Amino acid sequence: MTARRGMLVDAIRYALSAARLATPQRLPLPTPCPGWDLRALLRHAGDSMDVLSAALATGFAGAETVPAAGDGGCRGELSPVADLSQRAVTLLCACALAGCGERRVAVGDRELTTSLVTMAGAVEIAVHGWDISVTCGGGPIPAALARDLLPLAALLAPPGGRAGLFASPVDVAERASPGDRLVAFLGRQPRPPGPAAR
């Protein structure tokens, strides 16, 4: 398994472990993503996985591949968590089928390699996994995964190129954990996950 696939697998594993805490009673809870409850966040994380799957399978990723917000929720009769798990399996299959060779993927008016798309997906999924985890009282991003993703986040979300994608970085203590540094770099306020009884 290549390093890029390994990071994606680890990010998905973390996000799904957090999503397993998303009981039906927690779905209306607010999340660190302003204006989104947990149900909307799970749907968005799944939509992101769908875009990544399409990008790796077809060599194209565009806004039109994202289902419209408020489209009625998850597909079929699946719960939001089962739906997210199914979409994660589809993404992992697309990543495996993409193989180890480098291809170009059109993203808007730019082209990225499949490696960069995969690594961007790992960052996105891990950070949304943290959003889910904080909402549900779960654990932080694993330190080893966060350490691997920090330099990628700096490459993919530079200070001048994050408008509309991420908020400005948040200051953290010098001895902050790798997970706290990662989420703070992407505009989230690190906080220790606590009971989701708020």
pLDDT value for 160: 67
H helix runs in 20-174, sequence order: 38-58, 80-98, 114-136, 143-156
pLDDT for residue 71 is more than 60: no
Question: How many CB atoms sit inside 10 A of residue 127's CB?
Answer: 27
Mean pLDDT, range 26-46, rounded to an integer: 94
Given the DSSP bridges, would you call strands 60-61 and 104-107 parallel, antiparallel or unpaired? Answer: parallel
Q: How far apart are CA 189 and CA 182, in angstroms?
A: 10
pLDDT for residue 15 is more than 70: yes
pTM of the model: 0.86
pLDDT value for 75: 57
Token digits of residue 26: 């927690």
> Are residues 30 and 39 in contact, defined by beta-carbon separation less than 8 angstroms?
no
Mean pLDDT, the chain, rounded, equals: 84
Q: Which CATH code is given to the segment(s) 3-142?
A: 1.20.120.450
